[in-house]
Structure 1
Amino acid sequence: MFSTLETLILKYLALVDVPSPVCMKSLRTLHLDCVNFKHNESFSNLISGCPNLEDLFMYQYYPLDVVMNFIIVAPSLKRLVIIDYREAGGYVINAPTLKYLKIKGLSHCGFCLIENAPVLVEAKIRNLFYIYKEKILGSLKSAKRLSLDLSPLECPIDSIFYQLVHLEIYTCKEEWWNLLKLMLDSSPKLQVLKLIGKNLDFKKVGMVGGKWNEPKNVPECLLSQLKMFVWTSYHWESEVEKEVATYILKNARQLKNVSFSTRPIHSKEHNKLEEKCKMLKELDGVVRASSSCHLVFIE
């Protein structure tokens, strides 16, 4: 019945029971959207019966009655997306051919343990606060592209990302700049850096706490590799963001292209226009380490 099935999408199912391993050798893509399994073995039996599975998408929004922890052992898996807003439970991942990983959620008591992903190329990790047994970033050291929205206080780094060339960091978590410093120090081949903020009124939102302190030594990637620096939703009113931007401009010797996008000034805020122009002019006047650096401002 399922021998030729290549794609399977299951949605909003309660107490799915898979008492023994299934046989779906042709299955390549599996979507599980709010699926509640009867017990942990049911999920394991489903995954183990798909030896050629390449794409797995898991979405969990509501508390599950039974299964709390999903153990994903998939030797052929290449792409894994996990979006989970439950208040507990987590994932153990063993996928030796995994190339792409996206994890979003697990922001309460959830966990994620990556046991085996040696050929990972790209990973996007957002709102993952609780680290289980190992430092999750250390499991991503083979990645060439990383997108991170994490608290630096809970993600110490003890690995070198020798393959990383493209890094995105969201600037919404408290002291996000400490994560930036750690990643710059740990990524000697980094060529593209993108910082992503929220396009909100700075005066209403306020600035996350903490203070920027320059690294004692300039990271290797700034001295010899970084070529592109992009900052979206740059808060020109933030002193910390100004200091971070200035530091990179002053120390990145190989920079070619730099762009800052800012929140537009609305008609009711015309009094801010002069202040904004002054701040951006000061940033544009920073003496750059790279003589060939081209800087643009975008609204």
Structure 2
Amino acid sequence: MKRCLRIRVVMGKDRITELPEELLLQILSLPPTKTVITTSVLSKRWRSLWKLVPKLKFESDNQEDIAKFSENVGRFLLSHKPPVLESLHIKVIDKNKETRCSIDVGVWVGIAIVRHVRELVLDLFLLNYSVRFPSSVFSCDTLETLKLKCSVLADVPSTVCMKSLRTLHLVSVGFKDNESVRNLISGCPNLEDLLIHRATRCKVLTLVIAAPSLKRLSIHRKRLSIHRKIGGQKEAGGYVINAPSLEYLKIRRFNHCECCLIENAPVLVKATISNVSYIGNEKILGSLKSAKRLSLDLSPLEIKCPTGAIFYQLVYLEMYTREAEWWNLLMFMLDISPKLQVLKLIDHDKDDASYNDDVVTSGKWNEPKYVPECLSSCLETFVWIRYGLEREEEKEVATYILKNAELLKKATFSTRPIESEELNKLEERRKLLLNELSRVKASNSCHLVFDGESIII
């Protein structure tokens, strides 16, 4: 009985209130700010604690009056008095087709700058209208992270000075013109992480990225084509990238670009290129020759292969096999990658809506007359995900690699999921694979893993 009473006393004690204020503020930085404000009724100590929380998150819901939400955010920010505002996240969704609400973005951002904000995230989904982003941000010397999304329009002056900014994410942001993008990026001399998802309708045709300290760059476009018609004439945009410190590059959905120039990337570690086709120049692949790791999801029929380029640094190559005659691009890359150690092939996913079975099966594999240097002297690991034994060209490519990879230490194959009514085909698939491997002569001791089962051959 006495033990039960002691437990009740301990359980009834307010241990959270006894925590140091610094720790309480860290805890209050986790939930939405609307929830944090309600803690003011807990006790006398909590009454004003919410005013010192260093991280703020505001998010409107679909049922909320946007004008009232905007007013409440402004009122709270005026009452908020932290020594430093570490981050301010605001998300507004307005799907009202009839009205265009007044969003006090200028007030919010102005107060945040006065509070020496370090991270600012503005995510606006406003149906059929955009909000002009306040130019006062472009001279903020405390901002380290800036993320803008959707219904934001930026007219960037030439006097940008954001020396502390290291992370910049622009998702479907509208810019007045080409100079606005150029001014923003050039005004951030210490920028390290840049993400750009281009809007469907964008006035900026040629995107110029000149950033000497940039280490990570991701560019994505929503639509496959960036062709636009201006004055009755068809114009194609492009990309010019000059980033001598670039280490990680991701490019997705470039289609019918006039150019894609990566002028300077000598320390590139990894590049991921997918859904890129019909580029006016052939330098998009050739400019990646300093990369150590490459992931390619391209059609050899729609992309120009560079002449004379050698990938001396490339040790890891990942390729998707969804496109027609993908093996031609594979053999081209093997020929120009003399130090390749790891090769990973990823077949199509039947659940992928963009997959076209007729396209993938077109063409015919022809075994090359010469064996690439990397197969005979460097390749140690070979992986094939969703390997399809029913495709003749896949069996021929797999056999060719295993037969000529003299230093291969491990080959891993995983097949596509088998439906319950097709389980009886599993053993047949294994027999077919073993039959192919019986012709392997290059490696005396290749460790094979097939659907999780290890086999020494």
TM class, shorter-length: over 0.9
What aligned pairs does 1:46-195 form with structure 2 within 5 A after superposition? 46-64=184-202, 66-86=203-223, 87-88=225-226, 89-109=237-257, 111-153=259-301, 154-158=303-307, 159-195=309-345
Q: Which amino acid aligns with 2:208?
A: I
State how far apart, in whole Å, the 1-side matches of 2:159 and 2:258 are. 27
Structure 1 stretch displaced more, 257-266 or 12-21 = 12-21
Give distance in 2, aligned partners of 1:43 and 1:21. Answer: 13
| Structure 1 unaligned blocks of 5 or more | none
Q: Which residue identity does 1:127 align to in structure 2?
A: N
Query: Is 1:120–1:143's contact at 8 Å kept on the other side of the alignment?
Result: yes
Contact 2:166 2:191 in 1 (8 A): yes
Is 1:234 equivalent to 2:409 in the alignment?
no
Q: Deviations over 1:98-143 (max 9, x none)?
A: 1110001113557522122122121000011022333311100101
- Report how many aligned residue pairs link the two structures: 296
Query: Aligned equivalents of 1:43 and 1:254: distance in 2?
Result: 49
Classify 1:283/1:289 alpha carbon distance in 2 versus 1 (closer, same or farther; 3 Å): same
CA contact (8 A) 1:157 1:182 kept: no
Question: Which has the higher mean CA deviation after the structures are superposed, 181-190 or 273-282?
Answer: 273-282
Task: Give the alignment partner of residue 15 of structure 1, picking from 145, 153, 166.
Answer: 153
CA offset digits 1:67-90 (Å, max 9, x no partner): 122100101101101111232133
- C-alpha displacement at 1:274, in angstroms? 5.0
In structure 2, the partner of 1:205 is 357
Residue 198 of structure 1 deviates from its aligned partner by: 1.9
Q: Which has the higher contact order (CA 8 A, sep 6+)?
A: 1
1:260 alignment counterpart: 413
**Larger CA deviation: 210-219 vs 279-288:** 279-288
Structure (1 or 2) with the larger CA radius of gyration: 2
Matched position secondary structure for 1:243: helix
Q: Distance in 2 between matches of 1:274 and 1:297?
A: 12
The Cα of 1:14 is off from its aligned counterpart by 4.2
Could you tell me how far apart the structure 2 residues matched to 1:253 and 1:139 are? 30
Letter matched to residue 369 of structure 2: K
Secondary structure of the equivalent of 2:385? strand
Segment of structure 1 superposing worse, 250-259 or 204-213: 204-213
Q: Is the 8 A contact 2:260 2:283 kept in 1?
A: no
Distance 1:170 1:53 in 2: 32
**In structure 1, what is the Cα distance between the partners aligned to 2:254 and 2:284?**
13
Alpha carbon RMSD of aligned pairs, Å? 1.8
| Amino acid across the alignment from 1:196 | I
Structure 2: distance between partners of 1:267 and 1:284? 27
Deviation at 1:155, TM superposition (A): 2.7
Three-state SS of the structure 2 residue aligned to 1:105 is strand
TM-score by length of 2: 0.62
Give the drift of 1:287: 2.2
Paired letter, 2:254: L
Distance 1:14 1:296 in 2: 51
Taking the aligned partners of 1:132 and 1:115, their CA distance within structure 2 comes to 15
Q: Report which stretch shifted further, 129-138 or 26-35.
A: 129-138
Moved more, 11-20 or 96-105: 11-20
Question: Deviation digits for residues 29-74 of structure 1, max 9, x if unmatched?
Answer: 000010010111111111111000000001124222x212210010
1:23 & 1:180 partners in 2: Cα distance?
Answer: 45
Give the Cα separation in 1 of the matches to 2:392 and 2:306: 26
The residue matched to 1:127 in structure 2 has which SS? strand
Percent identity, aligned pairs only, is 64
Aligned to 2:441, the other structure's residue is in SS state coil
Amino acid at match of 2:209: I
User: Could you tell me whether the CA contact under 8 Å between 1:85 and 1:107 is conserved in 2?
Assistant: no
Given the two structures, how large is their TM-score scaled by the length of structure 1?
Answer: 0.93
Q: The residue matched to 1:248 in structure 2 has which SS?
A: helix
CA distance in 2, matches of 1:4, 1:199: 46
Quick check: 1:172–1:208 contact (8 Å CA) kept in 2?
no
Equivalent residues of 1:96, 1:116 under 8 A apart: yes
Alpha-carbon distance between aligned partners in 2 of 1:57 and 1:12, rounded to the nearest angstrom: 14
